[in-house]
């Protein structure tokens, strides 16, 4: 096949792709707030959630963030987004992977979950990030039923992003968009320290 034929073939193929995409775009007519779940073992869940918040803030939308882990860690996103008027709620005790005190953790989780319920009832908030919420549900610190109810009753145009490993099946089922970030490799596994500005 000569180059001209190749170019012709490529053009025809692209035209077909375009037609398919155009048809899908035309078919997508529903407008509603979305529920996104970003899960999996690879790096990129929280950064994806925060990227969406940055995107929404850039459009002048009203956003809020609740972080269920790393309460005492410094975090670049908070430094930036709070300056731009994004409400932040973090778990007071700085829950970590090592915590052994279930009672104290449940209490701390419940305090921030109350703030989340308030956010989910607030029509003026367009996009909410619940960073690492999945663990609260898996550990039973926050009742799955309460999460489902609050999400189902939220304002119709409000979008919610939930991040964290091991998202509960129910959350995956009710979400509109679910992405699983796969770990291919991570610097930490070869002994590299978490880096400011990249890892936190
Ligand atoms: P990020 O905040 O960078 O998007 P994440 O939210 O996907 O990461 P978490 O499970 O919340 O991942 O872990 C938070 C921290 O752990 C980050 O510093 C991240 O770089 C690191 N991390 C994420 N995935 C891995 C992994 N597969 N192995 C080692 N460390 C990881
Ligand atoms: Mg994370």
| pLDDT tens-digit map of 49-107 | 999 999 999 999 999 999 997 555 678 899 999 999 999 999 866 555 555 678 888 88
- State how beta strands 127-131 and 159-163 pair: parallel
Average pLDDT (13-36) is 89
Each residue's pLDDT tens digit, 186-199: 999 899 998 999 99
Ligand nearest to the CA of 198: 1
CA distance 85 to 76: 15
Q: What is the CATH number of domain 33-190?
A: 3.40.50.300
pLDDT beyond 90 at 23: no
Write down the domain spans for the chain: 33-190
Distance 153 CA to ligand 2 centre (A): 26
Model confidence, pTM:
0.88
199 CA: nearest ligand 1 atom:
18
Distance 44 CA to ligand 2 centre (A): 7
Distance 103 CA to ligand 2 centre (A): 23
The mean predicted confidence, pLDDT, of the chain is 91
Distance 102 CA to ligand 1 centre (A): 23
- Residue 114 pLDDT: 97
Select from 43, 188, 194 the residue to mutate for testing ligand 1; criterion: most ligand atoms less than 8 Å from CB. 43
Strand stretches in the chain, DSSP E: 35-39, 63-67, 87-90, 127-131, 159-163, 177-180
pLDDT beyond 80 at 160: yes
- Residue 26 pLDDT: 85
- Residue 198 pLDDT: 92
Distance 180 CA to ligand 1 centre (A): 13
pLDDT beyond 70 at 183: yes
CA distance 115 to 110: 9
- Residue 93 pLDDT: 66
Q: Which residue has the higher pLDDT, 131 or 27?
A: 131
- Residue 98 pLDDT: 56
Lowest model confidence (mean pLDDT) among 42-56, 90-104, 126-140, 148-162: 90-104
Ligand nearest to the CA of 48: 1
Q: Would you state the torsion angle of the CA atoms of residues 138, 143, 147, 150, taken in this order, to the nearest 10 degrees?
A: -170
3-class DSSP state of 142: coil
Average pLDDT (122-144) is 96
pLDDT band at residue 179 using 50, 70 and 90 as cut-offs: very high
In the structure, which protein residues have their CB atom closer than 6 angstroms to any atom of ligand 1? 41-47, 163, 165, 181, 183, 186, 188-189, 194, 199-200
- Residue 97 pLDDT: 56
CA distance 87 to 66: 8
- Residue 142 pLDDT: 95
Ligand nearest to the CA of 44: 1
């Amino acid at each position: 096949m000569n180059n001209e034929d190749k170019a012709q073939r490529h053009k025809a193929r692209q035209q077909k792709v375009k037609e398919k995409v155009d048809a899908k775009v035309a078919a997508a007519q529903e407008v509603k707030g979305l529920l996104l779940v970003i899960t999996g073992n690879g790096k990129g869940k929280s950064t994806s959630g925060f990227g969406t918040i940055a995107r929404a803030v850039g459009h002048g939308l009203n956003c809020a963030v609740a972080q269920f882990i790393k309460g005492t860690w410094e975090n670049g996103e908070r430094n930036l987004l709070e300056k731009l008027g994004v409400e932040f709620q973090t778990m007071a005790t700085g829950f970590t992977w090592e915590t052994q005190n279930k009672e104290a953790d449940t209490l701390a989780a419940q305090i921030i979950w109350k703030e989340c319920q308030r956010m989910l009832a607030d029509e003026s908030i367009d996009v909410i990030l619940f960073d690492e919420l999945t663990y609260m549900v898996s550990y039973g610190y926050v009742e799955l039923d309460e999460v489902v109810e609050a999400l189902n009753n939220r304002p119709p145009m409000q979008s919610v992003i939930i991040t964290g490993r091991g998202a509960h099946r129910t959350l995956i089922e009710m979400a509109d968009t679910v992405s699983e970030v796969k770990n291919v490799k991570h610097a930490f596994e070869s002994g590299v320290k978490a880096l400011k500005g990249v890892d936190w």
